């Protein structure tokens, strides 16, 4: 049995312990609010600078990218450029009174809204970004490439964040205020995908703009943005970082990196991930995915219950990280099978991929990917995690054993 030589793994709880320990090793990254400090993205920068220079900044823009791309830093640099009193052709000056404030995220005409959880004694429905502004400012000032997972950890909460009704009311209220300066007023909504159906409340703001106000929505998931919002915003697509851009950034920030090639290969255009790998904060899920496949394949009831309990007991953001890792792994595994060339996997993962070739071949990968995507969908919609993971584990076992006729969509069942 192939699995016998690839599965002597520690338990998941040990993995979690290591992961949590690594999270403590946080290094400070110098704040960058200038275009010049963001690697590459010349096309996007030129476009945004022109909008400001020609006084054509739209009322509502949607910055669209994936996690770890440059959308948030670009939006911050763009906002600073727009607010700057003494901008050059290339960038904000960094020293004028507006820059001094905007570069510290304390400019009175630069507002933020983002997903939050409950805080302290505040009722959940009353908790908005205002309650977490200090944490948010600190998180960005420490890590310009803040990810959704980083933010969930910074809030130190296991409950699911969202952007609630009160937040929408506050967004409208802040944009209705008289500007403190003579310049524009800006609202940056980070991760508007968390608005859900509350997004409708912003339509009026988008459709009936006030003078000199700008709404910048920064999303990492276009599919979760309401079409009514998407169609009313100018969409700015922000591309992945190239390998060369990641190399240049890491070398400048961290000096010589011994395994630079591997870091770049693994980061796959995601600079936030590259930074985490260099800092030793990147979680290693390779053992967990193999354990999941092994248990699913063997179908031993006791082992399945044990694994399901471990998986469902993880922090939701860790589960989300892990499931996205599964998608990354299976994509790279496919690439390896198709080309026999080195995929974006580390040495340990590559061994796993090679050992999996006869079990997770092309005929099964599509179904496996579908199961993982459905699991992500279920987790984000607060499915019962134990029911969900048990159903998906059985399904993965069926797929691996070619009993695909047993495949049923159990997501709705788990959500009910």
**What are the start-end ranges of the H helices in 156-285?**
165-176, 200-207, 227-230, 243-254, 260-267, 271-279
**C-alpha span between 255 and 269 (Å, rounded):** 20
Q: How far is the CB of 140 from Zn ion (least distance, A)?
A: 19
Report residue 44 as tokens: 């996007």
110 binds Zn ion (CB under 5 A): no
By C-beta, is 85 or 309 nearer to Zn ion? 85
Bridge-based pairing state of the strands 185-190 and 110-113: parallel
Kindly state whether residue 96 participates in binding Zn ion, applying the rule CB under 5 A.
yes
Q: How many residues bind Zn ion (CB under 5 A)?
A: 6
SS3 106: coil
From the list 78-86, 162-170, 206-214, 220-228, the region that binds Zn ion by CB under 5 A is 78-86
CB 386, min distance to Zn ion, A: 54
Q: 285: burial class by Cβ within 10 Å (0-12, 13-18, 19+)?
A: buried
Q: Please, which residue, 93 or 131, has the CB nearer to Zn ion?
A: 93
By CB under 5 A, tell whether 52 contacts Zn ion: no
76: contact with Zn ion by CB under 5 A: no
Complex with Zn ion: residue 107 or 273, whichever CB lies closer: 107
Closest distance between Zn ion and the C-beta of residue 103, in Å? 9
Please answer whether residues 186 and 52 qualify as being in contact, where contact means their C-beta atoms are separated by less than 8 angstroms: no
Contact by Cβ (8 Å): 321, 376: no
93 binding Zn ion? (CB under 5 A): yes
Pick from 220, 217, 92, 97: nearest CA to 149: 220
Told to check if 351 binds Zn ion by CB under 5 A, we report no
Q: Considering the rule CB under 5 A, would residue 250 count as an interface residue with Zn ion?
A: no
Q: Is 99 in the site for Zn ion (CB under 5 A)?
A: yes
Cα–Cα distance list, 252 to 69, 249, 259, 275 (Å): 18, 5, 15, 12
Q: Among residues 84, 155, 263, 391, which is the contact residue for Zn ion, using CB under 5 A?
A: 84
* Closer residue to Zn ion in complex, CB, 84/314: 84
Task: Return residues touching Zn ion (CB under 5 A).
Answer: 84, 86, 92-93, 96, 99
């Amino acid at each position: 049995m192939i699995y016998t030589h690839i599965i002597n793994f520690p338990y998941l709880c040990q993995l979690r312990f290591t992961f949590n320990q690594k999270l403590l090793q946080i290094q400070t990254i110098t704040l960058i609010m200038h275009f010049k400090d963001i690697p590459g993205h010349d096309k996007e920068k030129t476009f945004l600078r022109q909008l400001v220079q020609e006084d054509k900044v739209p009322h509502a823009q949607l910055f669209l990218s994936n996690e770890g791309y440059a959308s948030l830093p670009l939006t911050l640099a763009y906002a600073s450029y727009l607010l700057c009193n003494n901008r050059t052709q290339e960038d904000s000056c960094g020293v004028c009174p507006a820059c001094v404030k905007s570069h510290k995220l304390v400019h009175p005409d630069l507002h933020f809204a983002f997903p939050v959880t409950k805080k302290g004694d505040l009722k959940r429905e009353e908790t908005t970004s205002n309650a977490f502004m200090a944490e948010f400012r600190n998180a960005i000032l420490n890590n310009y490439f803040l990810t959704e997972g980083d933010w969930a950890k910074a809030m130190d909460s296991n409950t699911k964040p969202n952007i609630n009704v009160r937040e929408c009311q506050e967004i409208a209220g802040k944009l209705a205020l008289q500007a403190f300066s003579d310049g524009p007023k800006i609202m940056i909504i980070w991760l508007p995908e968390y608005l859900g159906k509350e997004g409708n409340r912003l339509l009026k703001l988008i459709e009936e703009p006030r003078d000199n106000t700008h709404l910048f929505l920064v999303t990492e998931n276009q599919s979760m943005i309401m079409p009514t919002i998407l169609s009313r915003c100018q969409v700015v697509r922000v591309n992945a970082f190239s390998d060369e851009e990641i190399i240049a950034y890491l070398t400048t920030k961290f000096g010589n990196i011994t395994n630079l090639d591997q870091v770049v290969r693994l980061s796959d255009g995601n600079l936030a991930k590259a930074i985490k790998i260099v800092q030793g904060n990147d979680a290693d899920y390779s053992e967990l995915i193999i354990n999941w496949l092994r248990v699913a394949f063997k179908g031993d009831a006791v082992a399945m219950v044990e694994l399901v309990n471990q998986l469902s007991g993880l922090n939701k953001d860790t589960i989300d990280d892990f499931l996205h890792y599964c998608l990354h792994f299976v994509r790279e595994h496919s690439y390896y099978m198709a080309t026999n060339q080195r995929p974006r996997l580390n040495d340990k993962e590559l061994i796993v991929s090679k050992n999996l070739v006869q079990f997770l071949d092309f005929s099964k990968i599509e179904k496996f990917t579908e199961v993982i995507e459905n699991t992500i969908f279920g987790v984000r919609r607060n499915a019962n995690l134990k029911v969900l993971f048990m159903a998906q584990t059985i399904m993965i076992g069926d797929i691996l054993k070619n009993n695909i006729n047993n495949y049923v969509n159990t997501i709705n069942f788990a959500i009910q």
